[in-house]
Structure 1
Amino acid sequence: MSRQTRKRESEAVAEAATTGTATPVTRGGLLRSGMVVSVMTLLSRMLGLVRDVVIATLLGAGSGADAFFVAFKIPNFMRRLFAEGAFNQAFVPVLSEYATQRTRAEVRELLDAVSGSLSVVLALITALAIAAAPWLVWLFAPGFKADPGKLALTAEMLRLTFPYLLLISLTAFAGSVLNTWERFAVPAFTPVLLNLSLIGAALWLTPWMSDPALGLAWGVLIAGAAQLLFQLPFLLRLGLMPRPRLGFRHPGVRRILRLMTPALFGVSVSQINLLLDTVLASFLVSGSVSWLYYSDRLVELPLGVFGIAIATVILPALSKRHAEQSREHFARMLDWALRMVLLIGLPAALALVLLAEPLLVSLFHYGAMTDHDVVMAARSLRAYALGLLAFMLIKVLAPGYFARQDTKTPVKIGIVAMVANMVMNLALIVPLAHAGLALATALSAFLNAGLLGRGLHRQGVLRFQPGWGRYAFQVVGGCALMALGLWWLTPDWHQWTAWHAPRRVGCLLGLVVGGATLYFVWLALTGVRLRHFRLRG
């Protein structure tokens, strides 16, 4: 950040403190903010891949790995459902309205009440979950009851991992405040600490445990505390450090709770679908849960770096425009988000399909991971990749409702997608096993995204700007050229298994860079320029 920018922000904060206003300082356009989040998220996701390589080497796809992934998935699922899902989508619009229309004292009062109420509720949920750990494992992975040892190990780890929900939800609360004040880099960097904690636990704690997976469970707990403590100084610097107190009767808290109730389901349908995959996979052959996990992790890389990054910056911006009743700018923002998703989502999905085995071999085929595991994980990876574009679209279309404090419509759409996913799960699990579960999730995501987009268009909120025909030709043409290049250049994946790690990674990077070069050169030759994606928040 330049000296002039810091000076302007200091003056604005000083003025806010003097006048009592709370309006956040605008720091730049959506493209710039999105790139900041993308870079930080990319760092986190790359470390996440390192983390998964370490876990795959240590545990492979056996019973210990299945047990840890379920013990971690339960609080992680609830984190996405509550913290990053319903709470974030309900809290940010209300906070943006307070920041735009209320005094700074009223904003601080809202933060105090929300932080205190959230802490009490999460502490009670955590205590109950720890006491009921075996029953939770049976609920989320009922197939484990056939193996009492695996069930007991998973329950023991869940008692260590579940407090992560309390810590990471408070972290998400702090991150929502920072995002509303356009400090996107800090919340985007925070997940790096989770990956570092798990890598450190794998290297230094697992040798001391009766089962190596227990060391990873301790790493999850340590990560939750580290992420929360990391964000607090930045809240203090903004003068927005909350003083938690019970405030269920506070008008802002009551509005957030009313918005959260339907949002609990609406924004998190894709996460519920993934959880259903785990439940059903627990009945399949050993390793099915792990194959789905490894393939999901690779899909999460572009989804997090680009899809979630765009959604992160667009929600507070859309909420601000709704509070200001700027409908035209609101519509342009949604159109911008859709173009950004298509620009990155389509080639990323295509690359995952074409490079499934090379990716899995290069990242995970070490130690306990076998050739059979690579083949099985590649099947579910391709199925998930088919839905990547839909996963991204959901992330950017749902804020079009939540920014306007409409949480009921996504719930109705979510119910339809949920039922469709259940039906397709049952229809596809028999012929395709775990890959059928992944494919059902992808197909239901397209249904969800389509219904969200149709609803916004009918409400006049989503209005396509001129130039979509030419833009689609540019993106699809670039994808076709990239696919042809990757198909021509990629060696058979069996050759990769005989290579050492540096050669695998080097070849993979070469293919990624080569494919991306073909894609972006085509875009440049057909007239796509960076300035076309600049939009003020």
Structure 2
Amino acid sequence: MSKKTKTTAIVLMFIILISKTTGFFRDIILAKTFGAGKITDAYLTALNIPVVLFDGISAALGTTFIPIYFKIKSSKGQDEVNKFTSNILNIVIIISLVFVSLGIIFAPYIVKIFAVGFKGDVFDLTVNYSKILIFSIIFIAINGLISSYLVASGNVYISGAITIPFNILVIIAIIFASMTESYTMVYGTLIAYIAQLLFQLPLLIKKGYKHRLIVNIKDENIRQILFLIIPVFLGSYINQINAVVNRTLSSTLDSGSITALNYANKLNMFAVGVIAVAISTIMYPILSKLASEGNKKLFKINLSKSINMIIIIMLPIMVIMTTFSTEIVKVLFEEGAFNSHDTYLTSTALFFYSTGILAYGLK
């Protein structure tokens, strides 16, 4: 790993740290405002539905897009890259619109799958929230693809920076919701997704991207990305299926169980997000380029160094998180509407989540 790469990794870790910190502050504000109860359970479930339905597809697209980006650029030039990007972006928008339409029509049935134990007011509230937040699928899809384009173009910092405006706007929405009604928070979250797109557009234009209204599913590059996306999609969806199972089982338990699991998972993913994501974001384009050039020796060296760095940093973090799970949750969340029982639920989940930090980071 060169000096320039190490410097880039450190800067990206700092950006991701800011992103994760604002995300934590968002969760803390949510916990102190609404505690761990019906509103937070309904909101977090509704927020999770579009992520599960489309984030796996978006992540798989982003992963497979970058190698094809370099292949097209090296053989045909940047103009063909922009043409390919426009084509796949248009196709993704059409698919996401179909998902949104189906999500609105079948919202009650989808909520029953995601939260089988929800009944009465909390079920109705989750359905209503879901019909609003389902529109975020469109922006999850667009933002993921644009981020991959920018990363491949050399702007590796965008992957960490994109969630900062999202978190800030959601925090503002939660504060206003505490003074008005919970729907303010839901609509504010949808606006935050739109803000992520607006945040990236100037950077996209600066890179010389010009969008074209073309849809060509017969393009050989589209066929190739569909071929590559299947194993990546299945791999990424394992985490989504796991999250659905967790939340579905939690919905049958006491009120606030889904919220406790969510906060525990966010704490657990903090270290993974700052360290592992930063390193993988930096190294993936480099490794993709080396693979396309057939430089196996340098590929193995860079991969080995990245793995060693993750192990050295994340092993002590795992020990700290498992040992002091209760203390961490108490300091961060226990105040206002978030009580000692909520701390017990969250810290118990955090302990078991934290045992897999190292394995998740290496994944």
TM bracket, shorter-chain basis: over 0.9
1:57 deviates by: 0.8
Q: Against the structure 1 CA distance between its residues 192 and 118, is the aligned structure 2 distance closer, same or farther, given a 3 Å change threshold?
A: same
Question: Is 1:177 matched up with 2:149?
Answer: yes
Q: Cα distance 1:79–1:366, how it changes in 2: closer, same or farther (>3 A)? A: farther
User: Could you say which residue in structure 2 is the equivalent of 1:353?
Assistant: 322
> How much has 1:177 moved relative to structure 2?
0.7
Q: Note the C-alpha offset of 1:225.
A: 0.6
What are the equivalent positions in structure 2 for 1:255-266 lying under 5 Å apart?
A: 255-266=224-235
Q: How big is each residue's C-alpha offset from its partner over 1:188-241, in whole Å with a ceiling of 9 and x where there is no partner?
A: 2110111111101011244322xx2x2221122001110001101111111124
Q: Hey, what's the Cα distance between the residues in 2 that align with 1:79 and 1:350? A: 33
Partner of 1:238: 207
The within-5 A match list for 1:300-449 is 300-394=269-363
Q: For residue 385 of structure 1, report the CA deviation from its aligned partner.
A: 0.4
Q: CA, structure 1 residues 178+28, in 2 after alignment: closer, same or farther (shift >3 Å)?
A: farther
Aligned match for 2:6, one of 31, 38, 50 = 31
Superposition RMSD on alpha carbons, in Å? 1.6
Q: Match of 1:267, SS? A: helix
SS in structure 2 at match of 1:366: coil
Deviations 1:240-281 (A, max 9, x none): 243242121111112112222232211332232122111111
Contact in 2 for aligned 1:115/1:244 (Cα 8 Å):
no
2:55, 2:140 within 8 Å by CA — same for their partners in 1?
no
Q: Which of 94, 110, 115 does residue 84 from structure 2 map onto?
A: 110
Equivalent residue for 1:46? Answer: 21
The residue aligned with 1:57 is 32
CA deviation string 1:377-400 (max 9, x = no partner): 111101000000011111xxxxxx
CA distance, structure 2, for counterparts of residue 346 and residue 237 of structure 1: 40
Whether contact under 8 Å (1:292, 1:380) holds in the other structure is: yes
Task: Note the 1:198-237 alignment, pairs <5 A.
Answer: 198-209=170-181, 212=182, 214-237=183-206
1:414-439: CA deviation from partner (whole Å, max 9, x where unpaired):
xxxxxxxxxxxxxxxxxxxxxxxxxx
Matched, 1:195 2:143: no
1:143 counterpart SS class: coil
Name the amino acid aligned to 1:139: I
Aligned counterpart, 1:413: none
Q: Deviations over 1:345-399 (max 9, x none)?
A: 11111111122122111211111111111112111101000000011111xxxxx
Tell me the CA shift for residue 60 of structure 1: 0.8
Residue 28 (structure 1) shift: 7.1
TM-score (norm 2): 0.96
Give the whole-Å Cα distance in 1 for the aligned partners of 2:128 and 2:68. Answer: 39
Selected match of 2:222 from 234, 248, 253: 253
Find the aligned partners of 2:57 and 2:67 in 1 and give their Cα distance: 16
Which residue does 2:127 correspond to in 1? 155
Structure number with the bigger relative contact order (C-alpha 8 A, sep ≥ 6) is 2
Q: 1:134 aligns with which of 108, 129, 134?
A: 108
Report the identity percentage: 27
Aligned equivalents of 1:275, 1:337: Cα separation in 2: 31
Find the partner of 1:93 among 59, 63, 67.
Answer: 67
Instruction: Report the Cα distance in structure 1 between the residues aligned to 2:237 and 2:243, rounded to whole angstroms.
Output: 10
**Count, aligned residues:** 362
Tell me, in whole angstroms, the C-alpha distance in 2 between the residues paired with 1:101 and 1:31: 29
Any conservation in 2 of the 1:126–1:162 contact (CA below 8 Å)?
yes
Q: Structure 1 residue runs of 4+, over 4 Å off?
A: none
1:119 aligned onto 2:93 = yes
Distance in 2 of aligned mates of 1:128 and 1:135: 11
Which of the two has higher C-alpha Rg?
1
Letter in 2 for 1:176: S
Shift of 1:181: 1.5
Q: Is the 8 A contact 2:151 2:159 kept in 1?
A: yes
Q: Which runs of 5+ in 2 are unaligned?
A: none
The answer to whether the 8 Å contact 2:55/2:141 transfers is no
The amino acid that maps onto 1:155 is V
Work out whether residues 114 and 244 of structure 1, in 8 Å CA contact, stay in contact via their aligned partners in 2. no
CA deviation string 1:261-309 (max 9, x = no partner): 2322113322321221111111122222111111101011111111111
Alpha-carbon distance in 2 for matches of 1:239, 1:87: 21
Q: Is the 8 A contact 2:326 2:348 kept in 1?
A: no
Separation (CA, whole Å) in 1 of partners of 2:213 and 2:127 = 32
Contact kept, 8 Å, 2:33 with 2:178, in 1: the verdict is no
For residues 106 and 381 of structure 1, the distance between their equivalents in structure 2, rounded to whole angstroms, comes to: 47
